[in-house]
A = this chain, B = another copy of it.
């Protein structure tokens, strides 16, 4: 466990940069969420907006604001002065322990994979997504969308990233399931059937079997492994369904007279919390695991609170050495 976590923050990425991003960083430092901050894309002149007692905890790293959501992912590899390139390069050089950005997902994935580089033994870095579940127990879905197309053997990397992240979330000896359209061995595509063989044969993976979409939220589910296309579609379908249910309930309430309105008022808080917990974009940050460093994508519309949370999570991931957790099971 490193004594001090060196956290980098991309000052340019996201809809509310740089103002809310800086505000979130100041909040995180003031409340000791983090020890040391590298403001990538920040200049000394920013000091005017930062309380003097925090100056010693901040380093300013010059960078260009040259990546946006229209930048092709691979293009970022040529934009060597961009904040995303510099942040991921500093991780590669051991100058940063973690890098948080609300910038383009595709560019971050490309830079994480090719600039920071993969952990030796990991074929495919991937997005690990925490989901809520019955009884309040979290679960992890991987790949959330980094790799649309995968080969069966890649599921080993995904499973190990998922296991490491599940442990980070406090789940002991995480059980691994592959997402499929049936639980019998004969069900599904060639991809999932062959992937199941790979996971069965790896002694470091506690592979249980297939799980169906209807059982994602059941208590016994810890890690759900799937290709990035299926994973991303599953997350978006969860989100779409939650929004649809809420909007329908709202409609029924509006047309339901005073009693329905009263009922809704009483349930409002519960409904709202649930919707947020099912929108994977609402989390402070999404981990991109499998690279030699901690890369966290904050949501594009992150406000200062979301940025502060993402920095806090990054700090905890460094302290708990999530990268080593993956290496341990390789």
Contacts and interface: CB of A to CB of B under 8 A. Distances in A.
Interface in A258-317: 259-260, 262-267, 270-271, 274, 278
How many chain copies? 2
Contacts of A241: 216-217, 237-238, 241-242, 245, 278
Contacts of A266: 256, 259-260, 262-264
B233 A189 contact: no
B274 A245 contact: yes
B239 A213 contact: yes
Counting contact residues on chain A (CB < 8 A from B), the size range is 35 or more
Given A179-B233, A216-B237, A229-B181, A267 B243 contact: no
B249 A274 contact: yes
Contacts of A170: none
Contacts of A179: 233
A236 interface: yes
A116 interface: no
Closest 8 CB pairs of A and B: A263-B266, A213-B236, A213-B237, A214-B240, A263-B263, A217-B244, A252-B270, A181-B232
A143 to B, nearest CB: 11
A194 interface: no
B260 A267 contact: yes
A142 to B, nearest CB: 15
A265 to B, nearest CB: 7
